[in-house]
Homo-oligomer: A and B are copies of this chain.
Amino acid sequence: MNNDIILKLNADDLIMQALKEDMPNEDITTNAIIKEPVMGEVKLICKQSGIIAGLGIFERVFTLLDENSVFKCNIKDGDKVEYGQVLGSVTADIKVLLSGERTALNFLQRMSGIATYTREMVCLLENTGIKLVDTRKTTPGMRIFEKYAVTVGGGYNHRFNLSDGILLKDNHISAAGGIAKAVQMAKNYASFVRKIEVEVENLDMVKEAVNARADIIMLDNMTPEMMKEAVKLIGGRAETECSGNVTKESIELLRDVGIDYISSGALTHSSPILDLSLKELHRI
Other than the given A29-B166, A33-B182, 10 more pairs (CB < 8 A) read A3-B26, A3-B31, A4-B66, A14-B141, A22-B136, A26-B162, A28-B186, A33-B176, A105-B137, A160-B191
Interface residues of A in 70-106 (CB under 8 A from B): 93-96, 98-99, 102-103, 105-106
For A96, what are the chain B residues with a Cβ–Cβ distance below 8 Å? 4-5
Report, as a range, how many residues of chain A touch the other chain.
35 or more
Alpha-carbon gap, A139 to B27, bound state (A): 19
CB-based contact B14/A27 at 8 Å: no
Judged by a CB distance under 8 angstroms, whether A223 is at the interface is no
- Rounded to whole angstroms, the CA-CA distance of A185 and B30 in the bound complex is 10
CB-CB nearest in chain B for A239 = B192
- Interface members, chain A 178-223 (any B CB < 8 Å): 182, 185-186, 188-195, 197, 216
A272 located at the interface, meaning its Cβ lies under 8 Å from any Cβ of chain B in the complex: yes
Complex CA gap A61/B114 in Å reads: 26
CB-CB nearest in chain B for A12: B16
Q: Which of A120-128, A167-175, A227-235, A249-257 contacts B (4 or more CB under 8 A)?
A: A167-175
How far apart sit A38 and B9, CA to CA, in the bound complex (Å)? Answer: 20
Complex interface: chain B residues within 8 A of A225 (CB): none
**Residue contact B269 to A29, C-beta cutoff 8 Å:** no
1/0 per residue, CB under 8 A from B, across A154-172: the answer is 0011111111111111011
Does B269 contact A272, Cβ atoms closer than 8 Å?
yes
A156 interface neighbour in B3, B107, B191, B272, Cβ under 8 Å: B191
A168 to chain B, nearest CB (A): 6
> Could you list which residues of chain A lie within 8 angstroms of chain B, going by C-beta atoms?
3-6, 8-10, 14-34, 64-66, 93-96, 98-99, 102-103, 105-107, 109-110, 113, 131, 133, 136-144, 156-169, 171-172, 175-176, 182, 185-186, 188-195, 197, 216, 239, 245, 260-261, 266, 269-270, 272-273, 275, 281
What is the oligomeric copy number?
6
CA distance A141 to B105 in the complex (A): 14
Q: Are A165 and B193 in contact (CB under 8 A)?
A: yes
Instruction: Please indicate the chain B residues that have their CB under 8 angstroms from the CB of A138 in the complex.
Output: 106
Asked whether, in the complex, the Cβ of A273 is within 8 Å of the Cβ of B273, the reply is no
- Shortest beta-carbon distance, A177 to chain B, in Å? 10
- B10 close to A25 (CB less than 8 A): yes
A18 CA to B197 CA, complexed, in Å: 24
Nearest chain B residue, comparing its CB with the CB of A42: B171
Please, which residues of chain B bring their CB within 8 A of the CB of A110?
139-140, 269
Closest residue of chain B to A61, judged by CB?
Answer: B140
Partner of A5, one of B3, B27, B182: B27
Cβ-defined contact, B166 with A64, below 8 A: no
Chain B proximity of A240: nearest CB distance (Å): 11
